[in-house]
Amino acid sequence: MSSNSKPDITAANFSALHTFLRGYFHEDVEDEYGTAPEAADQFCDDAETAERIPVAREWQQVCELTQSQPVALNAALKKLGSAIRLNEEEIPKVSAVFARCLTTKTARKLVNE
């Protein structure tokens, strides 16, 4: 392990993301949600803050560890339970959804009430 000790990409270290990937980034993602970014968006709408925040943070961490390189990121996501491959356009879109879901749930809820 290097001195800056990056966590290993395992389901144990990224348990929230692992659960999300298995529930949303599965073989039927196109039938169910359309695209991976839409699946992430749906999760952010469905999930409670306590679920959303760890998933979004872990997503950002995995992106940092893989430098959002599609091959490395897809390998990491597959290891964590994803059944789909993200293309280069989808990766920043999914990241944007998670960045938004770290900030806006409460604001969006207030608007809808």
pLDDT tens-place string over residues 45-67: 999 999 999 999 999 999 999 99
Kindly report the average pLDDT of the chain as a whole number: 89
**DSSP sequence for 74-90:** HHHHHHTT--S---TTH
**Separation CA 53–CA 18 (nearest Å):** 14
Structure tokens at 38: 């839409």
Contact 24, 90 (CB under 8 A): no
Domain residue ranges of the chain, discontinuous segments joined by +: 15-112
Contact 49, 109 (CB under 8 A): no
Q: Does residue 1 carry a pLDDT above 80?
A: no
Structure tokens at 72: 């490395």
- pLDDT reported for residue 79: 97
